[in-house]
Structure 1
Amino acid sequence: MRLLLDQRLLLDQRSEAEDVDYSYVPELSDELESLILARFPRSEHWKLYLLNKHFSDLLKSGELNKIRKEIGFKESSIFMSPSGQNCWWACDGLFKSCRKLPELPSLDICFINGDKESVCAGSHLIVSGRETFGSVVWRFELEIGKWFKGPSMIDPRCLFASATCGTFSFVAGGIGMDTRVSNSAEKYNPETKSWELLPRMHQKRKLCSGCFMDNKFYVIGGRDEHNNQLTCGEAYDKDNNTWE
């Protein structure tokens, strides 16, 4: 990685000093350069943005994420938001590197002070909450380091279960805009930046928990439409597109 950075800096300097001979600098192919950068920790990508325009454009294009998937490179990240604040922190899985993300741009007092729920999908951080005129979803795209509003869920909800399989995120249950307890479920695709309706759960539930394990999205516990406590759970098999 050090060789790659040194090489790129020297090549950038070459355009400013054409009379200097840099012929001794080994030149890497674009393919090899991308393979090296794809292994660079995501938590350190902000440094590449500052290095030069070439690296910045490569990150924004999403090409590095595609290469990561092809070579099976996985990296965990943790996102945290202090209570009562409108900012998020991104940390690597071992908390060796943490950085503050740009402040979420919503100025709505209901959203800032209200409860918010979050889930990750690929390189997107999805934060849902409620603004003065209804529910809202904000997303942070790690590649370009910016917040965007939307897309809204097909069935807006709160107090729902959520989980991620890494590539996609899933939400299920909760309370809809009509204040009714829901059994609907959706999947978010970061590549298309869109939600897709899934088959409905067998049981309506709110205040439930979710996790993804063994290729299934589990929704556990919560309360039903009569506010009775539930001790059951359901699992969505994404390969068969069914709940059990």
Structure 2
Amino acid sequence: PTRRSSDLLNGRIIVVGGEDRNNTELSSAEEYDPTTGRWSSIPSMHTKRSCCAAAVLDGQLYVVGGWDGNERLSSAEVYNPTTRCWSLIPHMNLQRSGCAAVSLCGKLIVVGGYDGNTRHA
């Protein structure tokens, strides 16, 4: 699989979305525990997406934007590792794939990406 996003959450690497070997977008998610050296599945996201962005804020993993195989996405969702549940959150103002996300000063910042017409810096 390719075009996945990942981040570090509670000492574990979380990898989300991407594409399978047939270039079909995925909603799946996995976590790697470096203390055991094992990968395990976690619940899938609500939306299949590749070329999305991920960032940790307040102990939760936020996944935004991407490509679902038909269109660029403005949707966003958050994973709570305590409840092991994904929740949909309000959409971004701009649909985009290939963007980057970071948490800064208690906020989630999304920059760049491609909206289908323009590459944003």
- TM-score scaled by length of structure 2: 0.82
Max radius of gyration: which structure?
Answer: 1
| 1:127 aligned partner | 15
| 1:229 aligned partner | 119
Q: 1:196 to 1:116 in 2, by over 3 A?
A: same
For 2:64 and 2:42, the matched residues in 1 are separated by 18
Letter paired with 1:200: H
CA contact (8 A) 2:9 2:60 kept: yes
* Greater RCO structure (CA 8 Å; 6+ sep): 2
| 1:151 aligned partner | 43
Q: Spell out, residue by residue over 1:209-240, the C-alpha distance to the aligned partner (whole angstroms, 9 max, x if none).
A: 111011100001111132x1224xxxxxxxxx
Unaligned runs of 5+ in 2: none
Letter paired with 2:14: I
CA contact (8 A) 1:119 1:162 kept: yes
Q: Spell out, residue by residue over 1:41-85, the C-alpha distance to the aligned partner (whole angstroms, 9 max, x if none).
A: xxxxxxxxxxxxxxxxxxxxxxxxxxxxxxxxxxxxxxxxxxxxx
CA contact (8 A) 2:53 2:63 kept: yes
| 1:162 aligned partner | 54
Q: Spell out, residue by residue over 1:179-235, the C-alpha distance to the aligned partner (whole angstroms, 9 max, x if none).
A: 310000111111112211110011111111111011100001111132x1224xxxx
Q: Spell out, residue by residue over 1:79-110, the C-alpha distance to the aligned partner (whole angstroms, 9 max, x if none).
A: xxxxxxxxxxxxxxxxxxxxxxxxxxxxxxxx
Q: State how 1:47-62 maps to structure 2 within 5 Å.
A: none
CA contact (8 A) 2:65 2:95 kept: yes
Q: Aligned to 1:190, which of 81, 86, 90?
A: 81
- TM-score scaled by length of structure 1: 0.43
| 1:207 aligned partner | 98
Alignment of 1:174 with 2:63, yes or no, is no
CA contact (8 A) 1:123 1:190 kept: no
CA contact (8 A) 2:51 2:98 kept: yes
Letter paired with 2:120: L
For 2:89 and 2:80, the matched residues in 1 are separated by 13
SS at 1:157's partner residue?
coil
How many pairs does the alignment contain? 117
